[in-house]
Each structure stands twice: as structure tokens, then as C-alpha cells.
DNA sequence: GGCATCCTGACC
DNA sequence: GGTCAGGATGCC
């Protein structure tokens, strides 16, 4: 579940608590497939002795920047980023209490101040990678632009949508097109922009793309202000739920009134994903394209 | 594009 | 007991 606003909230709340701390031991690691591209033992030994210098985010990836705490010279191939993807149900917390007994906690890393970095994931879809600078650059290059960056312009979005006849919702969910959006925020964005999720991307006018660009940023900013959305599992690094679920316009509001026009919110399926729309505010066909009664 | 797959828990 | 869920990937 965590999408851009949730990962951003986690990164911000984690940074103050773990920056400058050193990873001293792996206390629990009971799900080998959690770690990609590294054998478990190599993964654990590579972490020990590394200091966290920053906590950041790229798309839905949570990134811990690491640097060797001792004065040893770092070889250029040394991994210097610990990257987490939380997928559906993952969460990361800093805990002072022993979480080893929790069956859904799959990775615990002890820090030098006695606290623990705890990764929990009931559905086991989350993944962890230890990346070199080059590998991080490759991962980042495969993702679309950061929607909240000032460098993300309407023209960028327009270029990425032009000549694509796929449904606009599918493309907004595609991390290669734009990074960080998931099912919830795509539905919220398309409602705010007044665009039907089944519209072919190349049917959008430049004005609509401009409105969509604004709506993406508006929705994400608002969600971050509300510390993300909690449907079930999501918590920030201190265990607090988000508040943005109380501000949803369409997501999960099937049968309730559209906040703009009052018609009932409808649930359809797009790209195998539950999709919430107001069919009045988000028309699939232009009104002028509807045949007149006498035809 | 659609569909299965990786998993568990919640809900009907 | 069956169905569904916030994500991503890989295979027709």
C-alpha cells in the first residue's frame, strides 16, 4: 500500500531518529526472499559497521544512505544504499522494545544507541536491496520523474503520454511513466482532474494534461500534509497511522455522494484494480460525441 | 492489454 | 471456503 506520500512520511519521521546511527547487528532475519540480489550472510555482514547518513526516497523506494563508520577506505563497488520497497503491507519502525517474537517482523537491525530498525510485513511482498551507487542510479533511471520535483513540468507529462493509447489509469500506475503513484492516489488524482480512468492517454487534450499535472501534485501534497493514508497496515516510523483516508474524494467511497456534484461514486475495475469514479465529473466520452436523439 | 504469481489476513 | 486487498513482474 504505501505510495509516495506514505514513503515520504516514513522517510521524514525516520531521518531524525536514525541519522548518524551505526548498524551494529542483525537481530532477526527470517525470510530469505526479502533480500534481493544478495545471499543472506553477505547481506548481513555488509550492513554491520555502516553508519546511516541520510534517509530518502525515490518513487516508492525508501533509501538509507550508508557510509563505513571506521576510517577504512571504501572500495568503489561497496554498496552504500539500503533500499526498501514496502509493496502492499510493509512497514518500517524504530523500536526500543524487543520485536523478535512478532511473527510478521522479518528483519531487525540493532543500532548503536540501543534502538532497533524493524521491518514488518504480513504479506511478505516487500523487498530489500543493498545497492552500489551505480545500481542505485540504474534503479532510479528505470523510474519516471518525481512528481513533486520542480523539474517535473506539464510538458514532461505530455511527452510521456503522447502516442500512448493505453488507458490513462494504467499509465499513471506504471512507475516507468511517473514514480510514486499507486491505486489510491491515481483514483484521487483522476477525480480531481475530472478525467475518466479508461480514457486513452492520447485522447487527453493539452489542457487536460495540464490539469492532470496540477492534480497529481495537489493530491500528493495534501496527502503528505496528512501524513499519508492508513487503510489497514500503514504506520509511520513511530507507529502512528496517517490521516488522509478521512479526506478521500472517491477512493473507498462507493455509493456515497460525489463531493463535487452529488451523484453516487461508482466502483469499476480498470487494469485489474478496484477503481472509484464519479461518472458525471469524469465522463468517458465528450458530451459533443453523444449522438443527438433524432439520429 | 489480460492474467498469474508472490503471501497473509480480513471479511462475507 | 471463497474472494478480495494498497504493488510489481513476467508470461502469453
Rounded Cα distance, A242 and A8, in Å: 12
Cell of A292: 443527438
Q: Give the number of other Cβ atoms within 10 Å of residue A229's Cβ.
A: 26
Rounded Cα distance, A225 and A243, in Å: 9
Classify each residue of A99-129 as buried b or exposed e, where b means 16 or more C-beta atoms within 10 Å of its C-beta. Answer: beeeebbbbbbbbeeebbbbbbbbeeebbbb
Rounded Cα distance, A23 and A109, in Å: 7
**CA-to-C1' span, A130 to C12 (A):** 33
**CA-to-C1' span, A271 to B4 (A):** 14
Rounded Cα distance, A201 and A89, in Å: 30
Q: Is the dihedral of CA A230, A136, A16, A33 positive or negative?
A: positive
Count Cα neighbours of A123 within 13 Å in the Cβ-side half-sphere: 13
**CA-to-C1' span, A89 to B9 (A):** 11
Which nucleotides in chain B lie closer than 7 A to a protein CB? 1-4, 6-10
User: pTM of the predicted model, to two decimals?
Assistant: 0.95
Instruction: Say which DSSP state A167 is in.
Output: B
What is the three-class DSSP state of A45? Answer: helix
Kindly give the confidence (pLDDT) of every residue in chain A, 295 residues in length, as a single tens digit, with 9 standing for 90 and above: 799 999 999 999 999 999 999 999 999 999 999 999 999 999 999 999 999 999 999 999 999 999 998 766 667 688 999 999 999 999 999 999 999 999 999 999 999 999 999 999 999 999 999 999 999 999 999 999 999 999 999 999 999 999 999 999 999 999 999 999 999 999 999 999 999 999 999 999 999 999 999 999 999 999 999 999 998 878 888 888 999 999 999 999 999 999 999 999 999 999 999 999 999 999 998 665 555 444 3
* A166 in contact with nucleic chain B (CB within 7 A): yes
Amino acid at each position: 500500500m504505501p505510495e509516495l506520500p506514505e514513503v515520504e512520511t516514513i522517510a521524514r519521521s525516520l531521518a531524525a531518529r536514525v541519522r548518524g546511527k551505526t548498524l551494529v547487528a542483525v537481530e532477526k532475519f527470517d525470510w530469505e526472499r526479502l533480500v534481493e540480489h544478495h545471499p543472506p550472510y553477505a547481506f548481513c555482514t555488509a550492513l554491520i559497521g555502516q553508519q546511516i547518513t541520510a534517509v530518502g526516497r525515490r518513487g516508492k523506494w525508501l533509501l538509507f544512505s550508508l557510509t563505513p563508520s571506521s576510517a577504512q577506505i571504501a572500495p568503489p563497488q561497496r554498496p552504500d544504499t539500503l533500499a526498501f520497497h514496502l509493496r502492499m503491507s510493509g512497514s518500517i519502525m524504530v523500536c526500543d522494545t524487543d520485536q523478535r517474537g512478532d511473527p510478521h517482523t522479518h528483519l531487525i537491525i540493532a543500532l548503536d544507541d540501543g534502538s532497533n530498525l524493524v521491518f514488518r510485513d504480513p504479506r511478505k511482498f516487500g523487498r530489500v536491496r543493498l545497492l552500489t551507487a551505480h545500481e542505485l542510479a540504474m534503479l532510479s533511471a528505470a523510474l519516471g520523474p518525481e512528481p513533486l520535483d520542480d523539474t517535473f513540468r506539464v510538458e514532461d507529462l505530455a511527452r510521456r503520454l503522447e502516442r500512448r493509447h493505453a488507458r490513462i489509469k494504467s499509465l499513471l500506475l506504471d512507475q516507468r511513466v511517473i514514480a510514486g503513484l499507486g491505486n489510491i492516489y491515481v483514483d484521487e488524482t483522476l477525480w480531481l482532474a475530472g478525467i475518466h480512468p479508461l480514457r486513452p492517454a492520447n485522447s487527453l487534450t493539452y489542457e487536460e494534461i495540464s490539469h492532470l499535472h496540477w492534480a497529481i501534485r495537489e493530491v500528493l501534497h495534501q496527502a503528505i500534509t496528512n501524513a499519508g493514508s492508513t487503510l489497514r497496515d500503514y504506520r509511520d516510523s513511530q507507529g502512528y497511522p496517517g490521516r488522509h483516508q478521512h479526506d478521500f474524494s472517491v477512493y473507498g467511497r462507493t455509493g456515497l455522494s460525489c463531493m463535487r456534484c452529488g451523484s453516487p461514486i461508482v466502483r469499476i475495475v480498470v487494469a485489474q484494480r478496484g477503481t472509484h469514479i464519479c461518472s458525471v465529473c469524469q465522463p468517458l466520452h465528450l458530451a459533443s460525441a453523444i449522438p443527438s436523439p433524432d439520429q
